[in-house]
A and B are shown apart, each in its own frame.
Chain A
Amino acid sequence: MNFFKRAWLSLTAKKGRSVLLILVTSAIMLFVLAGMLIHTAADTATTNAKKSVGATLTLSANREASFKKMRKSSSSNPKLTTTPVKLSNATKIAQLNNVSSYNVTSSTSVNAKSFDAISKSTSSTGPGGQSSSSSTGDIAVTGVTNTSEVSSFSDKTNKITKGRGLTIADKNTNNTVIESELASQENISVGDTITVKSTSGSKTYKLKVVGVYKASSSTSTQQGPGATDPSNTIYTSYTFANTVKGSKYAGTADSVTFNVSNPSQVSSVKKAGNKIINNSKYTLATNDSSYQTVKAAMNNVKSFADKIVWLVAIAGTITLALIVILMIRERRHEIGVLLALGESRWKIVGQFFVEMVVVLIVAIGIGGKFVGDKLGDQLVSQESSSTSATISAPGDKSVQMSGKPGGSGGGPGGGNSAIAGGGQTGTTGSTQETNLDVNVTVLTMVELGGFGLAIMFLSTMIASGGILRLQPKKVLIE
């Protein structure tokens, strides 16, 4: 084990060279560290992003099958009959693995009685402007289980500004959440009671206002003519919407949306769900487009980060190998003396490797830790801002058909994101800011050390080709 001592003697005797080697190694290790941090950040971002976008399954009537049936029908007056979704099926599906929650949607319309609906502004005079036909009321009723799970609320297009949203506790009540423009026009506040009447009969219903929401798209110009003003949408419990529709709609819904907690499992949940439902009447539609978008974008980020790590590692290895080769050339004489003394070649290579490892340890120990912390902080802040920009970009396509018209707010905020250029992620789950917690941990340093060791080993091996071929006679006898 004499070569350890030789390595030490050589390092301490040639201090200038050792310091230079340490500096170069620190620099290379910093590049590797940066690559690793980017890699970790990308990993975390990917995981978080995948988690934060939900995937959903929507249970609704099988319209395609109904159309086919209608066309086949020999009746002279074929009728399109779609079957409302049975809630008993929905509860069964909700119990499947990976289904975290579900939201029942049942939409209908009523006419305002105790107040006036907001009339359509400018373009309401078009041919379609006479919107209230006999079957369509001026107030759109969206019956839901839970307003917070409606996409327009979860993506923050709609925001509760006063009172509260509807929850499962509002089932079988006449509680409602109305839009702020309607509230201010009609001077309705939380706690008031409003009256609406059925579009077909003369039945009236009293609704208690428990909350007011603000629709950011209430002045949207993207609505086609004939659409009612978004401010005329009120949210109620789905049971109320069913009551308005009629007694045969009890225990049914237009659609039920299931949130799948693990988006990658969405197809297996769908398979299991399809066994529960009658496929000729109902259909389960997957919506994991946001997940797929995020997945694709994030996989790009990851492969990019992977490439950076490899690039840096390869560049580092080449640089160090060149330096070690130069160093070994400079030390041909010493190698010759060792060979003349009968030292085995691998022990000479071993000595150089030990020297490089000592250099590496010192480089990581003093350089890496100090500068690495600073670099880590910086990367974290950059990474998290770009990632959150990507993820919080509200999607244009509303994943869940909530009966609420419009809903196209928010520009693509992630457009200028450095890494994942504008991944539009319309999320049905909550849109979260993804905070990356990347620190230079002990583990990072150990990994860095491992990487450095591999680089040193490779460089020494590459450079040692010269040692293995060196003829001592040539070096020692001129």
Chain B
Amino acid sequence: MLKTNNLGYWYTQQKNSLFENVNLEFKAGQSCAIVGQSGSGKTTFLSLIAGLDKPKEGTIEFDGSDINQIGLTNYRKKDVSIVFQSYNLFTYMSPLNNLLTALAVTQSSHAGDKDFAMDMLRKLGLTDAQMKKNVQQLSGGQQQRVAIARTMVCDAKLVVADEPTGNLDEDNTAEVIELFQQIAHEQGKCVIIVTRESTVAKACDNAYRLAKHEFSMI
């Protein structure tokens, strides 16, 4: 589903590149963790495969086509869905409107389907009252569940998450990991999770370690 070809990236201020000649492949229906120490370049790598930034070297292929060919905006709209550490919801909307807005913007097949969105939020543990009040009135765990629900209702087949459990306690972390497994196994999507936590890595189907500018399978 997703392939990197000789991917390389460096920030202009830095002497060394963060990574070079990265050739990885991620498959649909599987979850994959990328672990590494803080500052190793995990977020940078994720921003490349999420289409938020362009690689300095190499290419990224999605379903056989270069994502530059697809167009980064179009790629983000149709093919990739991102879950952030800080949730990144629309703060002036209710959970329900967050989902409906995402459905509309990504022109997903369930766009405008209010019942579908409400079902998903219910499945993720939100009450009907909660899904209609402002999203900022929810707890961190609930907000992250809304962000994951947003990913689950949209059509994008690639889900990337940057430290999705970084702000959560143990119970919530376990729940969120379980949700990502569902996305991979039940929805058949490709899930890539960037994390520092080895518990998260262990729960995923595959895992890579980014250390000393290299990716290695663990």
Q: Does B116 contact A (CB under 8 A)?
A: no
Q: Does B196 contact A (CB under 8 A)?
A: no
Task: Find B82's partner among A9, A333, A340, A344 (CB 8 Å cutoff).
Answer: A340
Residue of B nearest to A334 (CB): B90
Q: Which interface residue of A338, A342, A477 has the most chain B CB atoms within 10 A?
A: A342
Q: Which residues of B contact A340 (CB under 8 A)?
A: 50, 52, 76, 82, 88
B88 close to A337 (CB less than 8 A): yes
Residue of A nearest to B101 (CB): A6
Within 8 A of B (CB), among A459-478: 471-473, 476-478
B108 to chain A, nearest CB (A): 10
10 extra A-B contacts, CB within 8 A, seeds A337-B88, A340-B76, A342-B105: A2-B105, A6-B101, A9-B92, A334-B90, A340-B82, A341-B106, A342-B78, A472-B52, A473-B47, A477-B43
Q: Which residues of A contact B162 (CB under 8 A)?
A: 477
A9 close to B78 (CB less than 8 A): no
Q: Count residues on chain A whose CB falls below 8 Å from chain B CBs.
A: 24
B88 close to A336 (CB less than 8 A): yes
A9-B77 contact given A341-B106, A342-B106, CB 8 Å threshold: no
Within 8 A of B (CB), among A320-361: 333-334, 336-344
B77 close to A342 (CB less than 8 A): yes
Q: Does A14 contact B (CB under 8 A)?
A: yes
A428 to chain B, nearest CB (A): 69
- Inter-chain contact total with CB atoms closer than 8 Å: 65
Q: Which residues of A contact B52 (CB under 8 A)?
A: 340, 471-473, 476-477
Can you list, as one digit per residue, whether each of A103-133 has a CB less than 8 Å from chain B (1) or not (0)? 0000000000000000000000000000000
Chain A interface, DSSP helix/strand/loop, else mixed: helix
Q: Which residues of A contact B101 (CB under 8 A)?
A: 2, 5-6, 9
Q: Which residues of B contact A334 (CB under 8 A)?
A: 90-92
Q: Which residues of A contact B76 (CB under 8 A)?
A: 339-342
A369 to chain B, nearest CB (A): 30
Q: How large is the interface on B (under 10, 10 to 19, 20 to 34, 35 or more residues)?
A: 20 to 34
Q: Does B172 contact A (CB under 8 A)?
A: no
Q: Does B208 contact A (CB under 8 A)?
A: no
B90 close to A473 (CB less than 8 A): no
Q: Does B104 contact A (CB under 8 A)?
A: yes
A13-B93 contact given A6-B101, A333-B88, A342-B76, CB 8 Å threshold: yes
Residue of B nearest to A344 (CB): B73
Q: How far is the CA of A477 from the CA of B77 in the complex (A)?
A: 18
Within 8 A of B (CB), among A426-478: 471-473, 476-478
Q: Which residues of B contact A264 (CB under 8 A)?
A: none
Q: Which residues of B contact A10 (CB under 8 A)?
A: 92
Q: Which residues of A contact B134 (CB under 8 A)?
A: 13
Q: Which residues of B contact A339 (CB under 8 A)?
A: 73, 76
Q: Does B117 contact A (CB under 8 A)?
A: no
Task: Find B104's partner among A2, A336, A337, A472 (CB 8 Å cutoff).
Answer: A2
What are some 19 contacts across the A-B interface (CB < 8 A)? A2-B104, A9-B101, A13-B92, A14-B92, A333-B91, A334-B91, A334-B92, A337-B90, A339-B73, A339-B76, A340-B50, A340-B76, A340-B82, A340-B88, A342-B76, A343-B105, A471-B53, A473-B47, A476-B84
Q: Which residues of B contact A342 (CB under 8 A)?
A: 73-78, 105-106
A178 to chain B, nearest CB (A): 87
Q: How far is the CA of A337 from the CA of B43 in the complex (A)?
A: 16
Can you list, as one digit per residue, whether each of A290-313 has a CB less than 8 Å from chain B (1) or not (0)? 000000000000000000000000
Q: How far is the CA of A477 from the CA of B161 in the complex (A)?
A: 11
Q: Does B102 contact A (CB under 8 A)?
A: yes
Q: Which residues of B contact A338 (CB under 8 A)?
A: 105
Can you list, as one digit per residue, whether each of B78-107 has a CB less than 8 Å from chain A (1) or not (0)? 100010101011111100010001101110
Q: How far is the CA of A472 from the CA of B88 in the complex (A)?
A: 11
Residue of B nearest to A342 (CB): B77
Q: Which residues of A contact B86 (CB under 8 A)?
A: 476, 478
Q: How far is the CA of A6 from the CA of B78 in the complex (A)?
A: 20
